[in-house]
């Protein structure tokens, strides 16, 4: 029987960003330089396939430094850590390799700058996300008020509305963050924002690509982890852009192909922590079931690259 036709519309850019590339390379370079094991505090990026691949090469992932033997190499994840973590690492003699995305580090420096200037900080972000925990941990307790929604922005009560600044988690929905920011600026006209947008280029580009393809597709599939903020935002963006079905899958084995029966155009993208091999895996699985044509819709080219820490290049 002839296979049903399926056009796969690939959003581009998709998948790994420069910060994720750098973080994975740091773990691999540390293993090459120091040998097994290299300890990594928290998932290096939010993707099980990546984490399991690095485990197979000799990386050991831990939740806290208390699980790590003294005087060994330790990598901090791409999401960043509170100041207390490198302080503990230094006290215990660890060789620290900081894989924090430089764009997250930028937000850390903003938080410090605002605190030093005597401003209370409003952080737009998701409670409990490692990046938010790390950023809030750059300054003393109470210096940052966390705002997640427009409603939070309408009710947040700073100590001094005239001395206020805002910063943003790098992986938010661009539209959601803009809506929250609009409320903050209306309530607190003197609020100080970042000189350059905190939401990272990769998050913005992937969301723009999904907005472009979503109205033309019967379904959009986002390949990414359920704990990946940027991947979950892509699902939301696709739905808001007019796609009747937007789903998140970790890899091909998780797909309910029966639920996609009758669909002629399937959009596919991948979160910034999802490797391209998982996209290829999904396309291969689709070819087993459908006569597949591929369209790629590219909204911009990405040329950003970040250097590795000096101790891995010297």
Sequential DSSP letters for 42-73: S-SSS-HHHHHHHHHHTEEEESSGGGS-SSSE
Same domain, 208 and 172: no
CB contact set of 135 (below 8 Å; sequence gap of 6+): 80, 104, 107, 108, 111, 123, 125, 144, 167, 169
Of the candidates 177, 199, 221, which is a domain's last residue?
Answer: 199
On the question of pLDDT at 1 being above 80, the answer is no
Q: Can you name the residues that pair with 122 across neighbouring β-strands?
A: 145, 166
Report if residue 308 sits inside a domain. no
Q: What's the mean pLDDT in 87-106?
A: 95
Q: Which of 131, 151, 280, 301 is catalytic?
A: 131
The pLDDT value recorded for residue 288 is 96
3-state secondary structure of 164: strand
Of the candidates 168, 183, 199, which is a domain's last residue?
Answer: 199
Q: What's the mean pLDDT in 37-61?
A: 97
Q: What's the mean pLDDT in 169-195?
A: 97
The pLDDT value recorded for residue 2 is 87
Look at the block and give the residue holding tokens 């399991």.
52
Dihedral Cα 14, 16, 17, 19, nearest 10 deg = 160
CATH code where residue 175 lies: 3.40.1010.20
> pLDDT, tens digit, for every residue of 4-48?
999 999 999 999 999 999 999 999 999 999 999 999 999 999 999
Q: What's the mean pLDDT in 171-192?
A: 97
Q: What's the mean pLDDT in 97-114?
A: 98
3-state secondary structure of 216: helix
Q: What's the mean pLDDT in 278-298?
A: 97
On the question of pLDDT at 70 being above 90, the answer is no
The pLDDT value recorded for residue 314 is 77
Cα-based angle 219, 224, 227 (whole degrees, multiple of 5): 120
Which of 80, 77, 32, 36 shows the shortest CA–CA distance to 55?
A: 36
Report if residue 209 sits inside a domain. yes
Report if residue 258 sits inside a domain. yes
131 an active-site residue?
Answer: yes
Domain that holds residue 250: 4-16+201-298
Q: In sequence order, which ranges of the chain are alpha helices (DSSP H)?
A: 18-34, 48-57, 84-91, 102-116, 130-136, 150-155, 174-187, 201-213, 229-240, 276-289
Q: How confident is the model at residue 71 (pLDDT cuts 50, 70, 90)?
A: confident
Alpha-carbon distance values, 105 to 6, 78, 130, 134, 169 (Å): 42, 10, 13, 10, 11
The pLDDT value recorded for residue 217 is 98
CATH code where residue 80 lies: 3.40.50.11270
> pLDDT, tens digit, for every residue of 252-281?
999 999 999 899 999 999 999 999 999 999
Cα-based angle 61, 66, 72 (whole degrees, multiple of 5): 65
Q: What's the mean pLDDT in 84-92?
A: 94
Q: Can you name the residues that pair with 38 across neighbouring β-strands?
A: 59
């Amino acid at each position: 029987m002839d296979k049903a036709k399926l056009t796969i519309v690939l959003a581009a850019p998709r998948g790994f960003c420069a910060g994720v590339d750098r973080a994975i390379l740091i773990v691999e370079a540390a293993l090459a330089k120091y040998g097994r094991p290299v300890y990594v505090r928290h998932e290096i990026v939010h993707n099980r396939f990546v984490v399991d691949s690095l485990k197979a090469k000799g990386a050991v992932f831990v939740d806290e430094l208390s699980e790590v033997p003294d005087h060994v190499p330790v990598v901090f994840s791409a999401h960043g850590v509170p100041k207390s973590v490198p302080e503990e690492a230094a006290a215990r003699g660890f060789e620290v390799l900081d894989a924090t995305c430089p764009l997250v580090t930028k937000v850390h420096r903003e938080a410090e700058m605002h605190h030093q200037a005597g401003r209370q900080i409003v952080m737009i972000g998701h409670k409990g996300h490692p990046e938010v925990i790390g950023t809030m941990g750059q300054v003393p307790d109470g210096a940052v008020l966390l705002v997640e929604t427009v409603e939070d922005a309408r009710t947040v009560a700073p100590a001094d509305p005239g001395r206020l600044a805002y910063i943003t988690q790098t992986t938010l929905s661009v539209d959601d963050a803009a809506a929250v920011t609009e409320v903050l600026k209306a309530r607190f006209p003197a609020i100080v924002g970042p000189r350059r947008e905190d939401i990272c280029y990769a998050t913005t580009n992937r969301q723009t690509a999904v907005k472009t393809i979503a109205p033309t597709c019967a379904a959009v599939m986002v390949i990414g982890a359920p704990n990946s903020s940027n991947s979950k935002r892509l699902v939301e963006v696709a739905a808001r852009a007019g796609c009747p079905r937007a789903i998140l899958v970790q890899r091909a084995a998780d797909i309910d192909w029966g639920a996609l029966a009758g669909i002629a155009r399937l959009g596919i993208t991948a979160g910034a922590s999802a490797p391209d091999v998982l996209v290829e895996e999904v396309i291969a699985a689709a070819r087993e079931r459908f006569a597949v044509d591929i369209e790629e819709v590219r909204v911009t080219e990405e040329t950003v690259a970040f250097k590795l820490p000096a101790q891995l290049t010297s």
